[in-house]
Amino acid sequence: MNPVFIGLGLLVGFLVGLTGVGGGALMTPSLIFLGVEPLTAVGTDLLYATITRVFGVFFHQRKGKIRYDIALRLFAGSVPAVVLGGIILREIDREVLNDYLTVLLGIILVASAVLSLLKGEINIPIKPRWAYVYLLGFVVGLTVQFTSVGAGVIVSFTLMNVARIDPRDVVGVTIFYGLALSALSFLNYASVGSVDYSLAILLVLGAIPGVYLGTHVNRSADRGKLKKAINIIILLIGLFTLMSG
């Protein structure tokens, strides 16, 4: 039992419980940095994210703050993206995917972190339509399929700035949609043997107390400052990932 991975699960779980963002953006690059193959890092993170989000959905459902109408439309848009991703995983050489995956991950991290840091300061003048929600689901679905990053930061940013959704509803939508998307995407990686189950268990063992602790600390912390801090960390990780790629 490697305590490093339990500690990583604890740290990421704590930060997610504390700020509500950054799970995939921190976990996948951290696993790659610790020597895990990029494809396996993404697949393992998707399983980790699925298990931890089950708890998140449970708590938000008890508060009645999940808008399933939005979440299910996002997921419907993501289904064809996940199918497309599964085809690509089987048809393209594994070494080629690993080479480009690191660079793609870095780009997504930098872009999503910048969007989050700008959130609340810009307002995109686009008239809200349901068609855009399906399109957003497709784009994010394809992004998550290959990097495990995007469901939280990108969806939250877009729903608040484009769809004008109440921020209090966005968190529940993001968690439920993220659960459905990570579970479906995980199946693609499981089918090609790119999931380390023993590693995922270690991460979850650390994540459960981490999320619990982060949630409690969150009650007395300045959430805005914490989100800004975590997104700066994501930005730095993204830049480091790009340089290493």
Higher pLDDT, 166 or 84: 84
Work out the burial of residue 76: count CB atoms within 10 Å of its CB; fewer than 13 is exposed, 13-18 middle, 19 or more buried: middle
Six-digit token string for 206? 């650390």
In whole angstroms, give the CA distance from residue 111 to residue 152: 13
Which alpha helices (H) appear in 65-93, and where do they start and end?
A: 68-91
pLDDT in tens, 202-224: 999 999 888 888 877 766 777 67
Do 36 and 196 meet the contact criterion of CB atoms below 8 Å apart? yes
pLDDT confidence band for 165 (50 / 70 / 90): confident
pLDDT confidence band for 150 (50 / 70 / 90): low
Do 17 and 212 meet the contact criterion of CB atoms below 8 Å apart? yes
Distances, alpha carbon 52 to alpha carbons 23, 46, 91, 101, in Å: 10, 10, 31, 24
Average pLDDT over residues 171-195: 88
Q: What is the DSSP string of 118-181?
A: HTTT--------HHHHHHHHHHHHHHHHHHS--TTHHHHHHHHHTS---HHHHHHHHHHHHHHH
Per-residue pLDDT, 124: 60
Task: For the chain, give the percent of residues with pLDDT over 70.
Answer: 87
Handedness of CA 62, 138, 80, 86 (dihedral sign): negative
Helix (H) or strand (E) holding 197: helix 197-218
Do 40 and 89 meet the contact criterion of CB atoms below 8 Å apart? no
Per-residue pLDDT, 186: 92
pLDDT in tens, 81-133: 989 988 888 888 777 777 777 788 788 778 877 877 776 555 566 666 788 88
Name the CA radius of gyration of the chain, rounded. 17
